[in-house]
Amino acid sequence: MGDGCTTGDHVKNLTKHMALAMATAVLMSACTTTPAPEFGGKWRPVNRFADTAREIPLNPAYIYYALPMDGTLKGVLTRWAKDTHAGLAYQLSADYTLPAAVGQIRTADGAAALQQLAQVYAAQRIELAVENGAITARPAKN
């Protein structure tokens, strides 16, 4: 080798280049991303027509039901009034917790929902009704 380099120099340079290439490969592999997770659920293909026409209600009926997060009778009535754009006349001197029985109420008929709710609170002698567009809660008459 007439360039003044010894075999040892070539081995050192080759080793340095190999180490640099390996380090680059390791660093590059650290930059790769993980594959997208498999998502479940209902997926619909985009840009496709349905096989048949299907009705989609634009104004579905409101369903009256109680949620544990409503917390109390007044909470349920307040949500129902707000959701249906009705007023609320809460004329009771106390509020009441929600027993498990209110979880059975599920109807699109507001009067029926109030009747079922009143039955749950029959021992507390509460009257529930819709009067003049407002949900009314008051003590039951003797």
Q: Is 84 left (phi over 0), alpha (psi -120 to 50) or beta?
A: alpha
CB 84: neighbour CB atoms within 10 A?
13
* CA 66 centroid distance within chain: 17
Residues 73 and 25 in one domain: no
Indicate the pLDDT class of residue 3, thresholds 50, 70 and 90: low
Q: With respect to residue 48, please indicate whether it lies within any of the assigned structural domains.
A: no
User: How confident is the prediction for the chain on average, in pLDDT?
Assistant: 87
d(CA 78, CA 108): 17
d(CA 33, CA 28): 11
Region 95-124: what's the mean pLDDT? 96
Residues 124 and 82 in one domain: yes
Express the helix, strand and coil content of the chain in percent, nearest 5 each: 40, 15, 45
The range of the structural domain enclosing residue 25 comes to 1-33
- What's the pTM? 0.62
Q: With respect to residue 109, please indicate whether it lies within any of the assigned structural domains.
A: yes
Residues 24 and 79 in one domain: no
* CA 30 centroid distance within chain: 35
Secondary structure of residue 121 in the 3-state scheme: coil
Q: How many CA atoms lie within 13 A of 60 on its CB side?
A: 7
What's the pLDDT score for residue 24?
Answer: 78
How many structural domains is the chain composed of? 2
| Residue indicated by tokens 């009314």 | 136
Secondary structure of residue 139 in the 3-state scheme: strand
